[in-house]
Structure 1
């Protein structure tokens, strides 16, 4: 049976940190887009020039805003999870499963860098 490493090497942690920092940059850009969409920052004031189907448009605008707010909330949670992952890198506990205390597979962390559970622990949930 292969020996279980206590933690990832500093080189591995640095690689994960770079992946996470890229994801944070992208997530912040996406969040800014979502927020500007539901805050109507991009509105050029042409709403009143086209009165046809106004109530229908207002309803769909409201639904779109609500959807964007929900997406923004999810994006904020994603950013929080990524920042928590950075903290785990700093204190060298990154990549250790909360349940099994074993290392989470590198492939999983590259795809889901904020993961705190191994596949094994996730399946047991």
Structure 2
């Protein structure tokens, strides 16, 4: 499972503005498919950045006031705090679909084939 537990986050450059939380909780069980949707600036990309440890949360502050810290709470994968996992190993296990699609200057078929270079034309169709 993936769990965001009492997460609060503000970017270090703007510590007075919470992008996530306070008190953001989310649990996704194995086999479940989940999408974060929302308007621009609502925290979707930030949640992905926290999950993949581009930023880390700090232990919960407990008072909800912000207290000058940029983050609080915990993010767990199968009960293990992501801060206890090496970022490279963690990122190899997590798939994130970015908001903006990435296309190469090539045909649509070649863009589709990019994930499996040996794909036949039939597989691409």
TM-score (norm 2): 0.27
Structure with more relative contact order (C-alpha pairs < 8 Å, separation 6 or more) = 1
- Tell me which protein shows more strand as a share of its residues: 2
Q: Which has the larger radius of gyration?
A: 1
